[in-house]
Every structure is written in C-alpha cells, then in structure tokens.
Structure 1
C-alpha cells in the first residue's frame, strides 16, 4: 500500500510573499516532487520516444512505464491512456471526432459545462449537428431531463463530473445508466464523455467503474505541470482530426512531453495517496469560509453541504458566493489589495456576445448574484492562518465597502 505523501507545493512566500492563493480551481502550483521528477527526466531522457536508436528507445521505455503507472492510479488499463496537452485538448479530440461523421446527428450536454465543451457548439452546428445543452437548476442535472432529451439521433452525451464554478458534483453514474438503457433500446451505442478535470485527486472517481467511454484530465489542476493532460478513452470509434507522426496510436500527434508526463504521474500519485486526508482538511476550511461569508451577509451560491467523501454532493475545494450589490471586479480588487487571490465566479466571457451561455445563468442563478459572484477555491496546501486571514479579509472588505449590516 502506498504511503501518504504531502503535496509540498512551493511555498507561497517563494513566489509572492504578499499574496495568499485561493484560486486553485484555475491552476495549482507544482509540487516539489513533480518539479524534481520533471528536472530529472528532462536531464536523463534526451531522446525522442519515436526514435529507434538506444536513447530514443530508453525514452520510449520510460514513457510506457509512466503510462502504466498513471493507468494504475486511474484504475484503468494502460492501452486506454493517451497523453495530451491538457483537459481542453482531451475534450477537443473527442468532440471534434464527430466532425468526421458522414451523417450529422445530435450531441447532448449541459449548460454548465466548461467552455472547452460549450465553445464547440458553433463548430458542430455549422457542420449540421444539433447541440442540446440541458439547463441545470442549482448546478445539478435532472436525470429525467436527460431521459427526455434522448432520441435516436443522439450520438454523444458529454457531462462534467465536478462543476468548476460552484463545485456541484453531477450524478454521472445515474446518467450513464439512463443512456446505456436507451442505447440498448435503439440498438446503437451512444458515446459518453466526461470532463473530469476538477474531480481527479479531489473526490473518488474511476472512469471504468462509472462505465464511461472517455474522460478528460489536466495535470495543472492537481499540482502537476501546465501543458500536460490525459485522455482516457476505451472507445475505438474516436479518431482525431489532427494528423502527424502517429504518436499516441494516432489519437494525438506530436512528440510526447516525457518530462511533463512523468511529473504529472508524480503529482497524481501524491494527490491520490492523500485524497481523503486532503478532502477532510479542505472541507473544514470551507466550513470556516461559509460561516464567515454568512456572517457578512453574503449569499452562498454553491451548495452549502458537500456530503461525505464517499458520496460527495459538492466539491469542498470550491466555494462560490455573491457579494451583491458590489460587482465581482470591484470586490476582487479590494481583496487583491488585501493580499488574497480569488476569481470572479460567473464563468462568462466578457468580450464576446456569441459565447456560450453563462454557467450561472444555466443554473437559474439570480442575475444580480451572477454580477457579484466570487469564486474561492481552496488547496490542500493552504494553511489555517491563511484561511482565517481570508475570513477576516472578507469581514473587512464588507465593512470598508459600507455594506455591513
């Protein structure tokens, strides 16, 4: 049995002693272990894994070893693990495969998906596909809405596991059962893809046990390097639009980032070995922040109760609050001046009208709350002092903005 290893990310004092980081949903600092493995691999394995000379074959052997290692951590088979540049590309490979179909059909997803999924709407519709995005009041998918949306033209269902804006955990297991049942009725497979970027290493998740066809993961969400990710895919019906040297069995062309892949494996091992410990620690931090937000009179947009580690209803790593009537941008500047890195929680594009519908709007969140939404995302390397400091900063900001009741 693996021993639990602390994440041991680079101390925040090393990169900015004045700022406390609470934007872990956006990205995470690399762990020391991941950095050490990256450096070691980059120095030791200089060959291209596709080369036939000894140095190339050494790199290939290391790549195969890491694929098996990561597959084991996922509870999957090595043959189903493909390395990509991140969650967005992993989603893109699966979604763009639909464009190769000679007869367009329909894809069902939710209105609360990451933009990596929702931004494909225009592309697919231009190619003749029907794109159905089911609204999710409160951040949860009503399984009966999914059942009602299924029809004999549906080729793919795409659902996230953990919402990156409010932390809601979708019942993908229940959704898969409904889709599989309908698929048997029509006598044709329907591909089920899951964006699990915010789930891996934070809540229990096994793509094979959930009976998915594919799932996307990103290393920089669990203290690995940026620019590296995983597509788990056991369906042979998925093929990439991108062509190249045939790496990753032709599904993702381009020379593999061996150092990044090995560093990702190191980070994934660390976080999975302490997943329940981290969950409980972050859960307690979130409880403190919920209490402070309520004391300030702020509305909790995320589910207040997270459930248990074995049966989570929401991720404790994400807390979305409304600071109405103060706009998100104003509140973020105030908090930044106090030394805290947070983010706006609306997940809407502020630059283009044609973008996917706001995630919070698809949750039926009040428009005023959407304008004042703040996302606080916690990491296992945050400390008690930082959390208490953030609670105090929320109280101070409320008073300074003249909103204290």
Structure 2
C-alpha cells in the first residue's frame, strides 16, 4: 500500500514512538500528584510545554493541552464567545472551515442568539478586505483557518491579524493543516487563539494544543484544576510526549521537509502529462495537498479502484468521509451543482512519501482514468 491521505492523518515516526514508550513504561506518574512519581511527571510536563512554547515563540503559560483540533476549536470559539457576549454577539468565519468550527458557530447561533457572518471564497480565496468589510462594532471573534484541509489553500492570516489589531475582536486560527509544515509564531501574526492537532504532523491521535493569549474564556470542561484551571482532566502525558517530539522533529527539519514535499507535488503533476484533469482551489496552496478532478469520472468509483490497486487517497475531509454528502468546501467555491463535487479526489503528501511512490501512483492513476 502507498499512503497518500496525510491530510487525514499521518504515521507515527520512530522518534515519536520512542518518546511515548518511555513515558508509558517508566514515567507513568500523574503530574498532579505530590510524590516522587508525580513530581517527575510534572517536570516532564513543564519540559514538553516549554519545548512547544519555544517553537511557537511564546511563553509556556499560553499553551493548553487538549484532545485535538476539534476540542481546541470548540474551546476557543465557544469559550470566548460565551464569556464575552456582553461586548457583542457578532462572529465572523468562512464557509470553508472545518466542521468543528462551522458546527460550533451554528450552535452559538441557534442556542445563544449570536449572529455569524460567513465569508464566501473569491476564486478559492478569502481576502483580508472581506474581513475588513464584515467587521462591526459588536464583532467579538473572527475564526479563519490558516490552510484548508481539502484544497490546501493558504489564507492571508498575517494581513487579517493586522486588520484586527485595532479592533476588539479576537482572532482564532485553525492551524491544524499548517502546524509542523510552516513556521508558526502566533503573536507576530496577531493571532489570539491557535489550534493544532498532533496526528497531522506524525504525532498520535487524541492530543492537540490550543495557544491562548491570556484571554478570558469559559472552560469547556469542568472538574480538576489542570492546565492552570483552563482545562480540567488529568493530562494525557503519553500523548503530550508524542506531540512535543513530533512538533520538534517537524520544526527541526521544516525547510528540508517542505522542499521534499514540493518535489513530490511537482513530480505528481509532471507524471500526469497531458491527462485531462483540473486542480481545485486557488493558486496559493500548501504543496502537501492537491485536490484534483477528472471530467466525467466518478470520484467514489475512482477512490475504490485506487484502493484496490494499493493506493490510499480520499474524496475530502476524513470527518465526513463516511457520509454521502458532497464536499462543502468545493460547493462553496464552485456551487452545489458543479460536477467537480463528484469528480474530485484529494491527494495529500508528507515527508515520509517517496518520489518512487508518487511515480507509481501517477502511472496507476493515468491507467485507471484513461480507461
């Protein structure tokens, strides 16, 4: 099998497995306990938090460990909106967001009377000017993803952050597809909340982080006083060890990994040659993701044919892959009646893929589509 669905999840690296194994076997204490085992675990927890803070160029107190991107997104949006609704009840997001953002916005609309402005893409892009025009005096939060999980489109986060510096609205960024792939320094980008998930950059599932810039927000979970009273529940030390190691590995090899994935991307396109296809999205994308369509070829059948041939790709977000609903991302860009919704697949690379794998895949794809 050749795995080309890295936007859905990634494989654990040996160094991550080793870091997690050590915690499981020798450092299994509860970091809230005051005995020797607990104190040792607490030192490790502080070390992991410091490692991540250094990579994000921030202070350790701004890092909250969560169960993943979905919890981080929910905590930032729901927590801040409910705690600060006295300042206003207007929120801004886009129609391209992950469902953990869109469904949270809908929840706030229907249950608490918030008003949400959903920015629609222009040629696959969301612009800073759209955000500027949507801002109101009662806007309290703007939530826009750094890069889209289905098309790889990168949005102008720095420009949007600059616009919001003079406004009361805080800026939440879902960086799940970008963490471990691009440099991330939320404070210099004007980001107040940033979400990331370990399993997107070769860490384990079930662990993520939320960067929170010392803002007042309601807790999503209540119970103990972990994470400086911001997220109750005993810390997932095994997962945190994996997250910290994976993020450090990615950060240490950021440039080389990015260049390798660019080579994979270009090799894929070159190998397709004159095959009849189109690329979805804008011209500003991560090389890790290609959303590609083939006229008059059903993507569900194509995915099955590729799977049987030993190649794993997808037709969109893994969180909706088990449903028959068309991609809300492609629908937002091209319209609900566009044939692209049933003709397109997502191919996503990581630094663990090889040039030979991509060549094999391209040739098999041409063989299947050409028949």
Shared fold (TM-score, shorter chain, > 0.5): yes
Q: Aligned pair in 2 of structure 1 residues 48, 356: CA closer, same or farther (>3 Å)?
A: farther
Paired residue for 2:314? Answer: 343
CA distance in structure 2 between the aligned counterparts of 1:164 and 1:363, rounded to whole angstroms: 14
Instruction: Tell me, yes or no, if structure 1 residue 196 matches structure 2 residue 157.
Output: no
How large is the Cα RMSD of the aligned pairs? 2.0
Give the alignment partner of residue 108 of structure 1, picking from 92, 95, 102: 92
Task: Please list every run of 5 or more consecutive structure 1 residues that lacks an aligned counterpart in the other structure.
Answer: 1-18, 184-188, 306-312, 401-405
Paired residue for 1:359? Answer: 329
CA distance in structure 2 between the aligned counterparts of 1:320 and 1:35, rounded to whole angstroms: 31
Paired residue for 2:120? Answer: 135
State the SS of the aligned residue for 1:92.
Answer: helix
Residues 149-201 of structure 1 show CA distances to partners (whole Å, capped at 9, x for unaligned) of 110121100011011111111001111111223x1xxxxx2111000011111
State the SS of the aligned residue for 2:73.
Answer: helix
Give the alignment partner of residue 63 of structure 1, picking from 37, 45, 49: 45
> Is the 1:348–1:358 Cα contact (8 Å) retained in structure 2?
no
Q: Aligned pair in 2 of structure 1 residues 348, 383: CA closer, same or farther (>3 Å)?
A: closer
> Is the 2:149–2:317 Cα contact (8 Å) retained in structure 1?
no
How far apart are residue 55 of structure 1 and its match? 1.1
Q: Aligned pair in 2 of structure 1 residues 351, 222: CA closer, same or farther (>3 Å)?
A: closer
How far apart are residue 205 of structure 1 and its match? 2.2
Paired residue for 2:102? Answer: 118
Paired residue for 1:298? Answer: 277
Residues 70-109 of structure 1 show CA distances to partners (whole Å, capped at 9, x for unaligned) of 1112221111011111111101101121234454601101
Instruction: Tell me, yes or no, if structure 1 residue 99 matches structure 2 residue 82.
Output: yes
> Is the 2:94–2:120 Cα contact (8 Å) retained in structure 1?
yes
How far apart are residue 317 of structure 1 and its match? 0.3
CA distance in structure 2 between the aligned counterparts of 1:118 and 1:293, rounded to whole angstroms: 35
User: Where do residues 255-270 of structure 1 align in structure 2 (5 Å cutoff)?
Assistant: 255-270=234-249
> Is the 1:346–1:360 Cα contact (8 Å) retained in structure 2?
no
CA distance in structure 2 between the aligned counterparts of 1:328 and 1:236, rounded to whole angstroms: 44
CA distance in structure 1 between the aligned counterparts of 2:159 and 2:173, rounded to whole angstroms: 13
Give the alignment partner of residue 370 of structure 1, picking from 321, 341, 348: 341
TM-score by length of 2: 0.94
Paired residue for 2:184? Answer: 205
Q: Aligned pair in 2 of structure 1 residues 337, 265: CA closer, same or farther (>3 Å)?
A: same
How far apart are residue 345 of structure 1 and its match? 3.0
Q: Answer with 338-347 or 375-384: which moved more.
A: 338-347
Q: Answer with 287-296 or 33-42: which moved more.
A: 287-296
Paired residue for 1:281? Answer: 260
> Is the 1:147–1:178 Cα contact (8 Å) retained in structure 2?
yes
Residues 112-170 of structure 1 show CA distances to partners (whole Å, capped at 9, x for unaligned) of 11111011132111210011110012321122221111101211000110111111110
State the SS of the aligned residue for 1:197.
Answer: coil
How far apart are residue 53 of structure 1 and its match? 1.6
> Is the 1:290–1:300 Cα contact (8 Å) retained in structure 2?
no
CA distance in structure 2 between the aligned counterparts of 1:352 and 1:267, rounded to whole angstroms: 31
User: Where do residues 150-161 of structure 1 align in structure 2 (5 Å cutoff)?
Assistant: 150-161=135-146
Q: Aligned pair in 2 of structure 1 residues 135, 347: CA closer, same or farther (>3 Å)?
A: farther
TM-score by length of 1: 0.86
Give the alignment partner of residue 177 of structure 1, picking from 154, 162, 180: 162
How far apart are residue 57 of structure 1 and its match? 1.4
How far apart are residue 348 of structure 1 and its match? 8.9
State the SS of the aligned residue for 1:119.
Answer: helix
Task: Please list every run of 5 or more consecutive structure 2 residues that lacks an aligned counterpart in the other structure.
Answer: none
Paired residue for 1:325? Answer: 296
User: Where do residues 73-88 of structure 1 align in structure 2 (5 Å cutoff)?
Assistant: 73-88=55-70
CA distance in structure 2 between the aligned counterparts of 1:137 and 1:291, rounded to whole angstroms: 28
CA distance in structure 2 between the aligned counterparts of 1:340 and 1:356, rounded to whole angstroms: 22
